[in-house]
């Protein structure tokens, strides 16, 4: 699955520094959909070069890198600086019947690390929805940070656990920082 920053929101951040500041401040206050911001020790916002020291890359194109950590398949997406804003992990669990006892144990472990989630025991989600100013000037709620945990049970491949975690605010903050000096130069160059 390939995720891209929503154009309307990315543009809004570039054209609305006040809103970007609000989102950045929320991120620095520790506002998060989950208690932990990592999957398999890979943390949102970490440099991809640091992450690549811990897994074997198998595919890279544009802002996406895939690889393996043991038998776990990983996908990372990065901001232009190389900061990770999306992590996807698929862990094969073997052949067994996914039953209530397994799901209760899984949920207990997930809730201990990430906090309480929402949904069915085999399909949980976490989300942080914040106000975002769109290019129209309208402020609407947008889920800027989320996580999901999905258990699949394929009779051929066995059961697996897929974890996904994303935080758009990492790239938004980066874009705002990159925009600061050019915006100031443009303000200084204004002539009437």
Q: Examine residue 108 and state whether it is found in any structural domain, yes or no.
A: yes
Q: Examine residue 126 and state whether it is found in any structural domain, yes or no.
A: yes
How far apart, in Å, are the Cα atoms of 59 and each of 4, 65, 104? 18, 6, 35
Q: Examine residue 191 and state whether it is found in any structural domain, yes or no.
A: no
How confident is residue 135, by pLDDT bands cut at 50, 70 and 90? low
Task: Tell me which residue range forms the domain holding 154.
Answer: 7-185
Q: Examine residue 173 and state whether it is found in any structural domain, yes or no.
A: yes
Q: Examine residue 165 and state whether it is found in any structural domain, yes or no.
A: yes
In tens, the pLDDT along 40-57 reads 999 999 999 999 999 999
What is the pLDDT of the chain when averaged over all its residues? 86
pLDDT over threshold 50, residue 110: yes
- The pLDDT score that the predictor gives to residue 34 is 95
Q: Examine residue 192 and state whether it is found in any structural domain, yes or no.
A: no
Q: Examine residue 32 and state whether it is found in any structural domain, yes or no.
A: yes
Q: How far apart are CA 87 and CA 44, in angstroms?
A: 7
pTM, to two decimals: 0.81
Q: Which residues contact 176 (CB under 8 A, 6 or more apart)?
A: 13, 14, 17, 20, 21, 24
42 vs 136, higher pLDDT: 42
Share of the chain above pLDDT 90, in %: 70
Q: Examine residue 1 and state whether it is found in any structural domain, yes or no.
A: no
What's the domain count of the chain? 1
């Amino acid at each position: 699955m390939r995720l891209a920053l929503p154009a309307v929101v990315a543009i809004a951040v570039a054209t609305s520094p006040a809103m970007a500041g609000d989102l950045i401040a929320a991120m620095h206050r520790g506002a998060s959909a989950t208690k932990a911001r990592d999957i398999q020790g890979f943390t949102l916002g970490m440099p991809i070069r640091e992450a690549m020291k811990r897994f074997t890359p198998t595919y890279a194109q544009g802002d996406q890198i895939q690889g393996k950590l043991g038998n776990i398949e990983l996908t990372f997406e990065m901001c232009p600086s190389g900061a990770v804003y999306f992590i996807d992990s698929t862990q094969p669990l073997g052949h067994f019947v996914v039953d209530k006892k397994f799901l209760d144990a899984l949920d207990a472990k997930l809730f201990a690390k990430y906090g309480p989630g929402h949904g069915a025991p085999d399909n949980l989600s976490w989300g942080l929805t914040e106000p975002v100013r769109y290019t129209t000037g309208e402020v609407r709620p947008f889920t800027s940070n989320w996580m999901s945990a999905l258990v699949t049970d394929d009779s051929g491949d066995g059961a697996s656990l897929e974890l996904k975690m994303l935080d758009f605010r990492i790239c938004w903050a980066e874009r705002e920082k990159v925009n600061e000096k050019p915006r100031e130069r443009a303000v200084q160059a204004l002539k009437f």
